[in-house]
């Protein structure tokens, strides 16, 4: 493993989807392409661009809610990225990626999916509940769930192209190695993770904003998310 790369420079939270896209582009410009955080950032940037394009096209029933959710969600990633140079300070769900982001024997797609795992399985429920609280609504109100599912459809159309973009010509020629990587990551699905994230958000909403039960739930969620990321980051 190489020495631990540095973190992006310190930034204030973004306030719009356009700012989130610009922030990801800046992070991508600051980090070498082989950095594990850069690999996730590249995938996340493409997904965010796709969501951004649909926000102004009448795709969502409540685009204001979805835009706020997208920004809140992205800021949780940016907060984790700020501490990535010191893995011990990184939120637990993100720590495997922070610790292994310089490993040369882990494929870019593994880094990208480990980041997605941390961001969706842990951060998305937190972002959903925070967005509902800030906008004085609830997860089961209005078109929130329907719009949430529309993102799944969008991801279905984007996921394969994004995954393929991580496979270089050289990698495509090494069939046995690629098959091992494919076998490892095939068990992880963005849509399945998002379905579970919605259920976790409902639990968080019922637990309320404070209290020991909420803390215990989030600690357990972070630990199981981190375990899944370590499995995704197994060198093959």
pLDDT in tens, the chain (236 residues): 333 455 555 779 999 999 999 999 999 999 999 999 999 999 999 999 989 999 988 899 999 999 999 999 999 999 999 999 898 999 999 999 999 999 999 989 899 999 999 999 999 999 999 999 999 999 999 999 999 999 988 887 776 676 666 665 445 445 545 565 666 666 678 888 999 999 999 999 999 877 899 999 999 999 999 999 999 999 87
Cβ 229 vs Cβ 96: under 8 Å: yes
User: What pLDDT score was predicted for residue 70?
Assistant: 97
User: What pLDDT score was predicted for residue 2?
Assistant: 36
DSSP H helical ranges for the chain: 17-30, 36-55, 63-82, 95-100, 108-117, 124-134, 144-165, 169-173, 175-185, 190-207, 212-232
For 35-58, give one letter per residue: b (16+ CB within 10 A) or e: bbbbbbbbbbbebbeebbebeeee
| Rounded distance between C-alpha atoms, residue 120 and residue 190, angstroms | 8
User: What pLDDT score was predicted for residue 177?
Assistant: 53
Say if pTM beats, i.e. exceeds, 0.85.
yes
Tokens of 113: 């999916």
């Amino acid at each position: 493993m190489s020495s631990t790369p540095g973190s992006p420079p310190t930034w204030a939270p973004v306030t719009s989807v356009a700012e989130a896209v610009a922030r990801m582009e800046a992070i991508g410009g600051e980090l070498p392409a082989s950095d594990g955080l850069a690999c996730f950032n590249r995938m996340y940037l493409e997904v965010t661009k796709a969501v951004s394009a649909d926000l102004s096209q009448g795709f969502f029933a409540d685009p204001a809610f979805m835009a706020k959710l997208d920004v809140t969600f992205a800021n949780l990633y940016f907060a984790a990225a700020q501490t990535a140079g010191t893995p011990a300070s990184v939120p637990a769900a993100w720590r495997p990626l922070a610790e292994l982001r310089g490993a040369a024997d882990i494929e870019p797609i593994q880094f990208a999916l480990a980041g997605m795992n941390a961001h969706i399985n842990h951060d998305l429920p937190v972002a959903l509940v925070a967005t509902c609280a800030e906008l004085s609504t609830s997860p089961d109100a209005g078109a929130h769930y329907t719009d949430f599912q529309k993102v799944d459809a969008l991801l279905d159309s984007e996921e394969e192209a994004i995954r393929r973009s991580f496979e270089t010509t050289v990698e495509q020629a090494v069939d046995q190695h690629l098959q091992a990587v494919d076998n490892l990551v095939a068990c992880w699905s963005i849509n399945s993770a998002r379905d579970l994230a919605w259920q976790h958000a409902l639990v968080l909403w019922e637990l309320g904003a404070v209290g020991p039960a909420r803390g215990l739930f989030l600690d357990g969620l972070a630990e199981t998310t981190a375990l899944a990321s370590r499995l995704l980051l197994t060198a093959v």
